């Protein structure tokens, strides 16, 4: 089973609603036991938080068939802000109904376990680069990561969105990217 098949099976069994978010728009999503699980049908979204320094820091990137709110299935209701890097469509289902479905369908529950496991590995890799990597290494890692995503035609990865993803100032991103262009390959 792949992500698209999983999403389609869930949406066949649970009534869902649709949310459209325009490109470059922020939107707040609710998740948790009394909230929703969100499926990206179209587009590219970045979840984000404000830092103590007043910057917006991206904490997750979600392309087609990704799920948002997985970590909060059994937690109290919470809101998270997302930013649309491209025009996006989300399908969303009540978390309680999703949880009930997982209890009834071991095949879907198994897929969900595999999905969470792969996302956890991505988080560990991202954390390692964020903590130990230079700004240039963080930029390269992010660009490699995003190259593996399904990008809609209207998506542009600007230095502003790159700065949000890494948590750096856009000017620092510009300088680091110039340094990367002038460096010789390390092989």
Output 126 or 187, whichever has higher pLDDT. 126
Write down the pLDDT at residue 187.
45
Centre a 10 Å sphere on the Cβ of residue 148 and count the other Cβ atoms it contains. Answer: 9
Decide if 68 contacts 14 (C-beta within 8 A): no
Write down the pLDDT at residue 184.
57
Q: Which of 97, 75, 73, 92 is nearest to 28 (CA)?
A: 92
Task: Give 23's contacts (C-beta < 8 A, 6+ positions apart).
Answer: 84, 85, 86, 87, 88, 154, 155
Grade residue 181 by pLDDT with cuts at 50, 70 and 90: confident
For range 125-150, the mean pLDDT: 77
Q: What is the pTM of this model?
A: 0.78
Domains of the chain (ranges; CATH) run 3-182 (2.60.120.10)
| pLDDT for 18 beyond 60 | yes
For range 177-181, the mean pLDDT: 81
Average pLDDT, the chain: 85
Calpha distance 17→93 (Å, rounded): 7
Calpha distance 167→79 (Å, rounded): 20
- Phi then psi for residue 21, to 5 deg, are -125, 125
């Amino acid at each position: 089973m792949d992500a698209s098949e999983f999403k389609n099976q869930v949406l066949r069994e649970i009534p869902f609603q649709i949310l459209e978010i325009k490109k470059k728009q922020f939107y707040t999503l609710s998740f948790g036991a009394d909230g929703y699980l969100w499926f990206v049908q179209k587009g590219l979204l970045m979840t984000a938080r404000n830092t103590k320094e007043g910057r917006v820091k991206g904490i997750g990137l979600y392309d087609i068939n990704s799920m948002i709110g997985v970590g909060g299935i059994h937690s109290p209701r919470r809101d998270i802000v997302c930013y649309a890097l491209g025009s996006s469509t989300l399908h969303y289902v009540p978390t309680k109904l999703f949880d009930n479905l997982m209890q009834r369908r071991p095949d879907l529950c198994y897929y969900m376990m595999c999905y969470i496991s792969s996302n956890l590995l991505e988080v560990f890799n991202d954390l390692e680069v964020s903590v130990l990597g230079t700004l240039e290494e963080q930029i390269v890692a992010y660009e490699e990561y995003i190259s593996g995503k399904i990008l809609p035609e209207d998506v542009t990865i600007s230095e502003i969105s790159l700065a949000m993803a890494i948590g750096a100032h856009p000017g620092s991103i510009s300088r680091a990217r110039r340094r990367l262009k002038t460096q010789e390959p390390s092989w």
